[in-house]
C-alpha cells in the first residue's frame, strides 16, 4: 500500500475520534457532517496542525475508498501557513551544552544529534553495527522516508563512544533507556506500557536536551531539532556545498535545505562533522570538563 504501520495507526486514531464525535460509523456520515467536523476542529485551535487534518482526511478517504464509497468530496481545509525561521544555536552555545552535561551518555546524545544532524528518532535507533569507527562514518538506517544515509563521525565522538561502549557494554542499541528507569528514560505519558523496548524513549531524549540547554544558560527555545538546524547552518557557514548538506540531512527536496541558506559563501569542501570545528574553536580557552 506504500504506507507505514505508523501511518495506519494515525489514520485509525483520527477516524476513531471522528466516529466518537458523531457516535456513528464514519461510513454513515454525509459530506456536510464531515465538513462541519473539520471546520469545528479549525475553530477549536488558534494554530491548527496541517498534519492533524491530513490524518483525519486521508484516513477517512482511505476507509471510504476501501469500502467502495465516494470520497472525492474530502479535501484538506485551507490553513494559513506561518513561515518561521528555525532557531539556531551558536557554536559557543553548543560548547556550553557539551560542558554542562555531566553524564557521558548525555554528552554523546548532544554530540550525535548536533555533530551528525540526526533527528530524535534516528539517534534513538542507533545500533552498534551502525558505527564505523575505521571509516569515521555513522550509518543512519531507515530515517525519515525510510531512507538510509551515511554521515561523518567526529573524532571526538568516536573517542567518547568507545569509552561509553566499554563501560556500558550495550547489546544492540547504543543508548538503552530501561536499565535504571531514570526520569529521562521513561515515557511520562505511558510509564507502564508493555511494549516499552530497550531504546531511550523519545521523551527521554527531549528531556535531556531541554534540561541541559537550560543548565547551560541558553534562553532560546531549544528542542532536539534545534541541534539539527544548527548542524545544517554551521556546515553551510563552513563552506560545505548545499547539495552535500542536503544529502547529509536526508532531505528529499533541495527546497527544504535552502531554509538554512542565509548569506553563505559556498565552496567545494570535503564533508565533515561540525563538532570538530566546535572543539577547535572553543577548546583553546577551556579545557575538558
Q: How far is 180 from 214, CA to CA, in rounded Å?
A: 24
Q: How far is 167 from 176, CA to CA, in rounded Å?
A: 13
Handedness of CA 205, 150, 156, 163 (dihedral sign): positive
Query: Over its length of 289 residues, how does the chain's per-residue pLDDT go in tens digits?
Result: 556 777 778 788 888 888 888 788 887 877 777 777 777 776 665 555 566 677 777 888 888 888 887 767 666 555 455 567 788 999 999 999 999 999 999 999 999 999 999 999 899 999 999 999 999 999 999 766 678 999 999 999 999 999 999 999 998 999 987 544 444 544 433 344 444 467 888 889 999 999 999 999 999 999 999 999 999 989 988 888 889 999 999 988 888 888 876 535 445 556 678 898 888 888 776 655 5
| Active-site position among 37, 58, 114, 260 | 260
Q: How far is 87 from 1, CA to CA, in rounded Å?
A: 37
Residue 23 a catalytic site member: no
Residue 119 a catalytic site member: yes
Residue 228 a catalytic site member: yes
Q: How far is 282 from 94, CA to CA, in rounded Å?
A: 10
According to DSSP, residue 27 is labeled G
What pLDDT does 194 receive?
A: 40
What pLDDT does 62 receive?
A: 82
Query: For the chain, which residues make up each domain, given as ranges?
Result: 5-66, 91-282
| Active-site position among 55, 105, 107, 119 | 119
**Rounded (10°) angle between helices 274-282 and 104-116:** 120
Q: How far is 2 from 92, CA to CA, in rounded Å?
A: 43
Residue 124 a catalytic site member: no
Alpha helix segments (H runs only) across the chain: 5-22, 31-44, 50-66, 91-100, 104-116, 120-124, 155-168, 202-215, 224-237, 242-249, 254-257, 274-282
Q: How far is 246 from 248, CA to CA, in rounded Å?
A: 6
User: Residues near 286 by Cβ (< 8 Å), separated by ≥ 6?
Assistant: 95, 99
What pLDDT does 103 receive?
A: 96
Q: How far is 108 from 115, CA to CA, in rounded Å?
A: 10
| Active-site position among 54, 139, 149, 225 | 225
Closest CA to 93 of 203, 208, 215, 206: 215
What pLDDT does 189 receive?
A: 35
| Active-site position among 144, 147, 193, 214 | 144
What pLDDT does 253 receive?
A: 86
Residue 260 a catalytic site member: yes
- The backbone torsions φ and ψ at residue 139, rounded to the nearest 5 degrees and listed phi first, read -90, 110
Residue 6 class from Cβ within 10 Å (0-12 exposed, 13-18 middle, 19+ buried)?
exposed
Which superfamily does CATH assign the domain made up of 91-282 to? Intergrase catalytic core (1.10.443.10)
Residue 225 a catalytic site member: yes
What pLDDT does 129 receive?
A: 96
User: Residues near 105 by Cβ (< 8 Å), separated by ≥ 6?
Assistant: 164, 168, 175
- Name the 3-class secondary structure at 160: helix
Amino acid at each position: 500500500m506504500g504506507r507505514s504501520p505508523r501511518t495506519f495507526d494515525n489514520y485509525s486514531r483520527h477516524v476513531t475520534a471522528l466516529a466518537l464525535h458523531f457516535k456513528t460509523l464514519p461510513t454513515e456520515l454525509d459530506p456536510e457532517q464531515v465538513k462541519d467536523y473539520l471546520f469545528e476542529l479549525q475553530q477549536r485551535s488558534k494554530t491548527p496542525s496541517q498534519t492533524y487534518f491530513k490524518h483525519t482526511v486521508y484516513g477517512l478517504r482511505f476507509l471510504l475508498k476501501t469500502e467502495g464509497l465516494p470520497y472525492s468530496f474530502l479535501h484538506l481545509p485551507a490553513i494559513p501557513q506561518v513561515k518561521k525561521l528555525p532557531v539556531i544555536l551558536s557554536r559557543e552555545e553548543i560548547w556550553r551544552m557539551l560542558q554542562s552535561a555531566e553524564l557521558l551518555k548525555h554528552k554523546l546524545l548532544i554530540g550525535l544529534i548536533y555533530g551528525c544532524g540526526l533527528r530524535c528518532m534516528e539517534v534513538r535507533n542507533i545500533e552498534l553495527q551502525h558505527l564505523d569507527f575505521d571509516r569515521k562514518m555513522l550509518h543512519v538506517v531507515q530515517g525519515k522516508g525510510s531512507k538510509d544515509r551515511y554521515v561523518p563521525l567526529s573524532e571526538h565522538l568516536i573517542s567518547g563512544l568507545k569509552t561509553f561502549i566499554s563501560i556500558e557494554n550495550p547489546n544492540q542499541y547504543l543508548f538503552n533507556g530501561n536499565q535504571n528507569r531514570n526520569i529521562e528514560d521513561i515515557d511520562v505519558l505511558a510509564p507502564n506500557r508493555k511494549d516499552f523496548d530497550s531504546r531511550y524513549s523519545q521523551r527521554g531524549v527531549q528531556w535531556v536536551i531541554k534540561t541541559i540547554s537550560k543548565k547551560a544558560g541558553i534562553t532560546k527555545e531549544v528542542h532536539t531539532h534545534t541541534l539539527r538546524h544548527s548542524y545544517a547552518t554551521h556546515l553551510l557557514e563552513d563552506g560545505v556545498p548545499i547539495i552535500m548538506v542536503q544529502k547529509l540531512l536526508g532531505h528529499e527536496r533541495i527546497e527544504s535545505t535552502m531554509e538554512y541558506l542565509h548569506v553563505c559563501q559556498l565552496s567545494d569542501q570535503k564533508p565533515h562533522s561540525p563538532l570538530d570545528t566546535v572543539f577547535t574553536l572553543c577548546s583553546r580557552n577551556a579545557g575538558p570538563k
